[in-house]
Structure formats: C-alpha cells, structure tokens
C-alpha cells in the first residue's frame, strides 16, 4: 500500500470504498487519457462521471482558469463580476430565456429548483402546494431534500426522517405520473436520460405527455440535466432530443470543465419568484469557475462539435451492439443517447469487467451487478472509441471463457 493509500484510510471517511491496489492513484490527465503514479496510461471512458466533458485539462479551459486565478479568485456575491454575468447570458441565450441561479454542485442546483418550485406554487396557487413528483430509479443528489427526491430507497436508508413533499411515479409511464397528481402537487422533476439509475433515456411520448400534464395542471416541469446536459447526448441539452422545453433546468458536472459548478435556470415568470434573501451560495458563480464554464460552452458550441458527438455516439453504440450480438449469453441490452451509454449484462459480472478493463488500461463504471456505464469525454476520438470496443471484446471473450470473476 502506498503512503497516500494508507493516509486516505486514516484521514478520509470511507464513503467511496476505494480499494488500495484496485483503484489507481491518478496523477495526470489529457483529453480522454489519464495516467497513474506509476506512469500507466488509461483510456478514460468514465470521464470523471460526466464531468470531463471537454476532456482532461483542455488547454483553453486551463488558460482561462490560469488567467482568472491570477486576476481575481473570489469576491462575495454582494459584488458584481464579469465572468458570472457572461456565463449567465450564454446559458440564457442557449436555453429558453429566463434567468439563472448559481450554485456549486448538482444537488445544490436541484435544491434551488425544489425551493423555487415550492415558492412559485404557493404564490400562484395558494398554500398547500408543495409536492414534487419524481421518477423511480432517478438520482437527484445526496442532500436531505435531493436524496428524498431520488427515487431509490438504497440512498435514503438510515437518514430518516426524510424531507416531506416527494412522491414517486414510474419512469416512461405517463399514467403513473398523472395518477400521482393531486391538490398538493407543485411540480414534476425528471432526468431526460436517467444516469445513475442505469442509463435509461426517456421516450418522446412520455416527455411530451409530461409537458401537457404540467400545462393542464399548472405544474412546473423540471429537467435535471446535471448528467445528460452539456452536450452529453449530442445536443447541448438533453431536452432538445424531445422538442420539449421545461420550466426549470438544472445543470452541473461537465459545465465547469472539472471545476465545481451548479446552475438552476428558470424560465421567465418563474425566475422572479426568488427575491433578495430567498436563496444564496457563498461560492456560487465564483469567477474562476464561471470563466472555465464560459470556455466549456464556447467549445461545445463550436461547429461541428455536437454533430461529432452524435456521430461518435452512433459509432460507439454500433460497436456495443456488435458485442451484444457476438456475446448474447453475456450482454442483455445496449442503451443510451450520444455519449452516455450502457451495456446491461445478462450475468452479474459488471464489477469484474470493470476491474479487468482497468487492468488492461481502460476506466469504465459498473452500476450494480449488471450494468456498465460509459461517460467518455466528448472529445474522445473515433480511434479511441474503436480501441475501447476492442478492449471490451477481449474482456467479454475472457468472461465467456470464465476468466474474470
């Protein structure tokens, strides 16, 4: 065990279950590649869990951050800073109008969405409207409210009493959502592509139906795009795949180029619900993070970046489908959109496959016993994706022969 691994056990609370000798100690990254302390190179298909959207240490992000760090690192939100306003302007122009609130993580962005939804419903429809319907298998964060919004009991156990005011319905089942609406309902929150739950894209009819349901019942529709936004699906926002706009969208992960950020954007009319003093964040909209995010958005918006993400997503999906065909006893399903993809195994070997890929120099993510998730940097090359498919094929071949276990 290296010194760092020993110290990690001694000083850091064990919430991530890192294993010495199994989880590498990473020291450097560039594009879709990362290196450990022994100089071993990894093809990174985990991408910091969708954070490294423009790749590790993108030179333009590095330059923007270096310039800003040397000029002004932080001020209070009592003062104006230019990077914050520039980022907000780009986000508003690239979505559906309205205004933004800046936070530091996905969970905080969702907290802001929950709070503004409750206040808006109370103001527009009277007291007693506070409930938000979310989907089973969803993931919205780990704060007390967002873990309650998360439709998975395993994340909630032990932390009761949970926050009040959340109801659950079945993803991709419009009737299930419609049945949950009552006089307490204020809004509906979903991920257009469920990420942590195992990569399940919403069906177009479901999303369109939710929009109609919300319009009919005067509910706010919230899309949590913390994972599936920022170009991940090959469109800047996941909702663009469905031709449906929400009232509120939340963003985080890939937006900061590796720095912590969270954004809650509310459409015009809803945005004015928050008044001075209603909500705040000391670090929210920090100038360094905002400079990084402005650069990330400029990169994502340069043609043909997103078109290439769609093409690479297609190529990767076809490669995975070929594996599914070649190994029908091992692979049950291929799912995803753009460069958020999953391979569902027919056998509980996800961790073993993840470990074997890592030994071979490739980082992937096992969800539960059966699902392998891929969230590569969007800048990954076609050659690197082809290499990833070859590596996976070798590992599946070994698995078929009973080798990784």
Q: Which residues does the annotation mark as catalytic?
A: 139, 224, 253
Nearest to 228 by CA among 339, 382, 114: 339
CB half-sphere exposure, 27, CA atoms < 13 A: 8
Q: How many residues of this chain interact with ligand PLP, rule: CB under 6 A?
A: 14
Q: Considering only 10-18, 224-232, 285-293, 336-344, which stretch makes contact with ligand PLP by CB under 6 A?
A: 224-232
Q: Considering only 221-229, 263-271, 295-303, 307-315, which stretch makes contact with ligand PLP by CB under 6 A?
A: 221-229
CB of 51 to ligand PLP, least distance (A): 9
Q: Which residue is nearest to ligand PLP, using beta carbons?
A: 106
In the complex with ligand PLP, the residue whose CB is nearer, 29 or 151, is: 151
CB of 195 to ligand PLP, least distance (A): 4
CB of 18 to ligand PLP, least distance (A): 17
The contact pattern for ligand PLP, residues 148-187, with x = CB under 6 A and - = no contact, is ----------------------------------------
Is residue 195 within the footprint of ligand PLP (CB under 6 A)?
A: yes
Residue appearing with tokens 């020993």: 6
Cα–Cα distance list, 141 to 152, 167, 229, 242 (Å) = 11, 16, 16, 24
CB of 191 to ligand PLP, least distance (A): 5
Nearest to 222 by CA among 132, 284, 326: 132
Which two three-digit tokens encode residue 335? 């799912």
In the complex with ligand PLP, the residue whose CB is nearer, 47 or 319, is: 47
Beta bridge partners of 167: 133
Interface residue with ligand PLP among 226, 249, 297, 395 (CB under 6 A) is: 226
CB of 260 to ligand PLP, least distance (A): 7
In the complex with ligand PLP, the residue whose CB is nearer, 165 or 254, is: 254
The Cα–Cα gap between 273 and 59 comes to 39
Interface residue with ligand PLP among 196, 247, 271, 295 (CB under 6 A) is: 196
CB of 105 to ligand PLP, least distance (A): 4
CB of 109 to ligand PLP, least distance (A): 7
The contact pattern for ligand PLP, residues 95-114, with x = CB under 6 A and - = no contact, is ----------xxx--x----
Answer yes or no: are the C-beta atoms of 239 and 207 closer than 8 Å: yes
Q: What are phi and psi of 281, to 5 degrees?
A: -155, 125
Answer yes or no: are the C-beta atoms of 357 and 391 closer than 8 Å: yes
Answer yes or no: are the C-beta atoms of 107 and 141 closer than 8 Å: yes
Is residue 399 within the footprint of ligand PLP (CB under 6 A)?
A: no
Bridging pattern class, strands 26-30 and 248-251:
unpaired
Instruction: Map the footprint of ligand PLP across residues 10-49, applying CB under 6 A.
Output: none
Q: Considering only 7-15, 219-227, 308-316, 395-403, which stretch makes contact with ligand PLP by CB under 6 A?
A: 219-227
Is residue 191 within the footprint of ligand PLP (CB under 6 A)?
A: yes
Instruction: Map the footprint of ligand PLP across residues 111-150, applying CB under 6 A.
Output: 139-141
Interface residue with ligand PLP among 43, 131, 248, 252 (CB under 6 A) is: 252
Contact positions vs ligand PLP (CB under 6 A)? 105-107, 110, 139-141, 191, 195-196, 224, 226-227, 252
């Amino acid at each position: 065990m290296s010194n760092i691994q020993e110290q990690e056990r001694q000083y850091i609370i064990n919430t991530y279950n890192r294993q010495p000798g199994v989880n590498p100690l990473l020291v450097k990254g560039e594009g879709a590649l990362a290196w450990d302390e022994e100089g071993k190179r990894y093809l990174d298909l985990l991408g910091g869990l969708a954070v490294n959207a423009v790749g590790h240490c993108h030179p333009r992000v590095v330059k923007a951050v270096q310039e800003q760090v040397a000029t002004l690192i932080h001020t209070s939100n009592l003062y104006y800073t230019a990077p914050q306003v520039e980022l907000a302007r780009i986000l508003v122009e690239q979505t559906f109008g309205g205004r933004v609130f800046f936070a530091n993580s996905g969970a905080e962005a969702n907290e802001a969405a929950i709070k503004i939804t409750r206040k808006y419903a109370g103001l527009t429809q009277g007291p007693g409207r506070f409930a938000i319907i979310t989907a089973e298998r969803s993931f919205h964060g780990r704060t007390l409210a967002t873990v309650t919004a998360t439709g998975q009991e395993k994340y909630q156990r032990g932390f009761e009493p949970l926050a009040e005011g959340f109801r659950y319905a079945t993803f991709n089942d419009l009737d299930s959502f419609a049945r949950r609406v009552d006089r307490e309902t204020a809004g509906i929150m979903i991920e257009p592509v469920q990420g942590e739950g195992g990569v399940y894209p919403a069906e177009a009819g479901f999303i369109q139906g939710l929009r109609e349901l919300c319009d009919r019942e005067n509910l706010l529709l919230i899309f949590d795009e913390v994972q599936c936004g920022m170009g991940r699906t090959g469109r800047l926002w996941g909702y663009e795949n469905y031709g449906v706009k929400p009232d509120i969208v939340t963003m985080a992960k890939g937006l900061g180029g590796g720095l912590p950020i969270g954004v809650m954007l509310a459409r015009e009319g809803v945005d004015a619900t928050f008044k001075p003093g209603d909500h705040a964040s000391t670090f929210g909209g920090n100038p360094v993070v905002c400079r990084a995010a402005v650069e990330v958005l400029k990169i994502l918006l340069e043609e043909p970046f997103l078109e290439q993400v769609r093409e690479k997503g297609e190529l990767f999906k076809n490669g995975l489908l070929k594996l599914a065909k070649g190994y029908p006893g091992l692979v049950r399903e291929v799912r995803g959109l753009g460069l958020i993809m999953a391979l569902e195994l027919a056998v509980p070997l996800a961790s073993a496959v993840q470990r074997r890929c890592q030994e071979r120099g490739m980082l992937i993510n096992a969800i539960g016993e059966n699902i392998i998730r891929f969230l590569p940097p969007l800048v990954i090359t076609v050659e690197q994706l082809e290499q990833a498919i070859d590596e996976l094929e070798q590992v599946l071949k070994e698995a078929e022969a009973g080798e990784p276990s």
